[in-house]
Amino acid sequence: MIPVLLIAIPLVTGLAAFFSRNEKLVRSWALFSSILTLAISILGLTIFSDAKYLEHHSAWMSTLGSSFSVKLDGMGQILCLLTAIAFPLIFISTWHSSYKKANNFFALMLLSQAGLMGVFLAMDALLFYFFWELALIPVYFLCSQWGGEKRIAVTFKFFIYTFVGSLLMLIGILYVYAHSQDHSFSIESFYKAGAALGHKEQTWLFWLFFVAFAIKMPIFPFHTWQPDTYEQSPTATTMVLSGVMVKMGLLGLIRWLLPVLPVAAYSWGNMASGMAVTGMIYASLIAIRQNDIKRLVAYSSIAHIGLMCIAVFSENKLALQGVMIQMFNHGINIIGLWIVIELIERQFGTRKLSELGGLAQKAPAMAILFVIIALANIALPLTNAFVGEFLMFSGIFGSNDITEYNILFTVLAGLCIILAAIYTLNMIRKIFYGDTVALTANVQDVKLSEKLALGIIVVLIFWMGVYPQAVLNITNDISDSILKLSDVHPMLKK
C-alpha cells in the first residue's frame, strides 16, 4: 500500500499540475504534494512498518513474465525517505525563484520524483528499467527548458549518454531474463538465474550493467556529462540530480548487480573500485582548481560517489551499511550546499569564486549554515557524513584478511579526504571570508524559507552524526541479505 502511494501521489499530482496556469497555486500544490509524500514515507517507517503494508504485487504484462511488484525494504526506506525529504526542501528553498511556465516546471519535478520512487521501489527488472527511463525524461526537459545558456547541447549530451547506458543495461536484463527458469523479471528469479550463469557470461553482463550504473553515478571515466549538466541545469533540478538521482546508480549496484552477478562482481570488483578510486583523486584534484562553485561541488560529488562505489564492491557489512547511510547523508548535504549556492547565484548572478568574498560579514547566518554543511560534507566527526565514511573506510580496509588492494584503496581514497578539506576550505574562504568586494557589498542574508530548509538539513546532519544507529538499524537486514546473496564462497566451492 505504502509503496504504491509513494509512486502514485507525485505521479497524479504532477499530471494534475500541468493544467494550472496560476504560478502561486501550482507552487503550493507541489509543496503540498511533496509534504504528503514525506508524511506517507514517514508513516511507512513508523506506524505502518509492518511488512504487509510495505509490499504490493499486481499482475502486469504477465505474458512477458513481468509484474507490477514494488516493495519497501531497508534500502528502499532510506532512499524513499531521502527523496521524500529532498523535494519539500527543494520546493521550500526555491520558493522565491520564479520560473516561466511554472506549471510545467513543477509538474515535471513531481514526475521525476515519481520516477525516482519507482526506481527505488521496483522489485521487477522490467519495472525497474521503466522507472529508470521515466525518471530521466522529466529531468531532460527540466534541464533543457529552464537551464543556462548552453543548456540544450549539454543536456542532450547527458540524455544520450545515460540513454546509451540504460540500453546496455536493458540487454543485460533481457539476457538474464532469457536464462531464468520461470522466464520472469521478478527480482528473486533474477537472483537465481544470474547466480547460475557461468563466469564468462557474468563477466560481460557485469560490464553491461556496470556501465549503465557508472554513467548514472557517475564513475570515472563516464562522468563528463555531470559537471556540465550540474552547471547548466536550474539549481532545483541539480539538487534532484546530485542529491537523489545519482543514488539510482548505487542502488542499481547494490540491488541489481552484486546479488545478480556475484561471481563477476567478486572477480571484477577490484577493477571497478580501481576506476572509482582513480576518479576520486582525479575529481578532487580538478575540484581544487575549479573557479565555478557549481562545477566544484559537482566534482566533489564525483569523489564522494566514487568512495561509495568502492565500498559497495568491498562486499562487507560495515562498508555496505556505510553506503546505505551515506547515500542518505550525501543527498542531504549536497542539497544543502546547492541551496546556498542557489542563493548566491540568484543574488550576484555569478558563481565565480574569484568574484566573491567576504559574505560572512553581512550574511553571518548564511556563512554559518554553509560552513556547517560544507564541513559535514568533508565528514567532520559528529556530522552525518563521518559515520558513513568511517564505516565505508573500515569496510574497504577489510576485516582480518587485509589484501594490498584494501590498503591501496583505503590510502588513495583517504588522500581524497585531505584533498576534500583543501578545496572545501578554499571555497569557504573565497566565498565568505576575506574582505567584501564591490559585488558582495550589499548582500542580504538568508530569507526565512531558506533558513527553514537549511535548518532542517543542519538538524538532520547532527542527528545522523550523533545517533546514526536509528538508520543503521533500518538497513541492517537488507545489507545482510544482499551480502548473503552476493557471497561467492559457496559457489566457488562447487
Partner 1 sequence: MKNVLNIVYLIPLLPLIGFLINGLGRKHLSKGLIGIIGSGTVLASFLISVWVFMQVKGGNTYVADYFNFINVGALSIPFAFQIDQLSSIFLLIITGVGFLIHVYSTSYMHEEKTEHFGRYFAYLNLFVFSMLLLVMGANYVIMFIGWEGVGLCSYLLIGYWFKNTEYNKAANKAFIMNRIGDLAFLIAIFWIISKAGNVNYGDVFAFAQGNKFTATDITTITILLFIGATGKSAQIPLYTWLPDAMAGPTPVSALIHAATMVTAGIYMIARSNILYSLSPVTLNIIAIVGLATALLAATIAMKQNDIKKVLAYSTVSQLGYMFLALGTGSYVAAVFHVMTHAFFKALLFLGSGSVIHAMGGQQDIRKMGGLNKYMKITNATFLIGCLAIAGIPGLSGFFSKDEILAGAFSQKPFGIVLYIIGLGTALLTAFYMFRLYATTFRGNFRGTHDQEHHLHESPAAITIPLIVLAILSIIGGYVGVPEFILHGAHSLKDFLAPVFAGSYQVFEAQGISHEVDHSTEWILTGVSTALILIVVVFAWNKFSKKPDTEDAAGFGKVLANKWYVDELYEKIIVRPMNGLGTFLNNVFEKSVVDGIVNGVGRLVNYSSRQLRLLQSGQVGSYVLLMVVSMLLFFVFQFFLRK
Partner 2 sequence: MNVLILSAILGIVILFSGIYLKQKSNVRAIAIVGMAGLLLCNIWEMSSASFFHVNTEGMMRFDRFALLFISIILFSTLIYFVLSAKDMEKVGIHYAEYFALIFFILCGVVLVASFKSLLILFLGIEIISIPLYILTGSDKRNLKSNEASLKYFLMGAFSTGLMLMGITLIYGATGTFNVEQIQFTAEKPGVLPIAGMMLLLFSMAFKVSAAPFHFWTPDVYDGAPTVFTSFMATIVKAAVFIGFIRLFDETFGTFKEQWRLWIAIITVATLFIGNITAVFQQSVKRMLAYSSIAQAGFMLLAIFAMNSDAKEGILIYAAAYCLATIGIFAVLTKMSDYTFDGFNGLARQQPVVAALTTIFFLSLAGIPLTAGFLAKFYMLKAALSAGSNLWLVIFAVLMAAVSAYYYFRVIQAMYFKDGQATIQASPFFKGTLVILAAVIILLGMFPNLLLYWYYF
In the complex, the residues that contact partner 2 under the rule CB under 8 A are 60-64, 129-130, 133-134, 137, 141, 144-145, 151-152, 156, 159-160, 163-164, 167-168, 170-171, 174-175, 177-178, 204
Q: At which residue does the C-alpha cell 547515500 appear?
A: 327
The number of CA neighbours under 13 Å toward the Cβ of 435 is: 2
Choose, by CB under 8 A, the member of 85, 258, 366, 472 that binds partner 1.
472
Chain positions 23 to 82 lying near partner 1, rule: CB under 8 A, are none
Which partner, partner 2, partner 1, none, binds residue 43 by CB below 5 to 8 Å per kind?
Answer: none
Sequence-distant (≥ 6) Cβ neighbours of residue 166 within 8 angstroms: 129, 132, 133, 136, 212
432 interacts with partner 1 by CB under 8 A: yes
CB of 430 to partner 1, least distance (A): 9
Q: Is 424 helix (H, G, I), strand (E, B) or coil?
A: helix
Distance (Å, rounded) from C-alpha 217 to C-alpha 301? 9
Choose, by CB under 8 A, the member of 36, 137, 422, 437 that binds partner 1.
422
**59 phi, psi to nearest 5 deg:** -65, 140
Handedness of CA 205, 306, 122, 195 (dihedral sign): positive
Q: Mark the segment that binds partner 1 (CB under 8 A) among 84-92, 335-343, 465-473, 486-494.
A: 465-473
Choose between 51 and 160: whose C-beta lies nearer to partner 1: 160
12 interacts with partner 1 by CB under 8 A: no
Please answer whether residues 362 and 356 qualify as being in contact, where contact means their C-beta atoms are separated by less than 8 angstroms: no
Distance (Å, rounded) from C-alpha 51 to C-alpha 71? 9
**Helical (H) or strand (E) element with 465:** helix 448-466
Which partner, partner 1, partner 2, none, binds residue 129 by CB below 5 to 8 Å per kind?
Answer: partner 2
Tell me, by CB under 8 A, how many residues bind partner 1. 56
Binding mask 146-175 for partner 1 (x = CB under 8 A): -----------x---x--------------
Residue 493: count of CB within 10 angstroms of its CB: 6
Distance (Å, rounded) from C-alpha 297 to C-alpha 145? 23
Q: Is 266 helix (H, G, I), strand (E, B) or coil?
A: helix
Q: Which residues bind partner 1 (CB under 8 A)?
A: 157, 161, 220-221, 223-225, 282, 285-286, 288-290, 317-318, 321, 358, 360-361, 364, 375, 380-382, 386-387, 390-391, 393-394, 397-400, 402, 410-411, 414-415, 417-418, 421-422, 425-426, 429, 432-435, 466-469, 472, 476
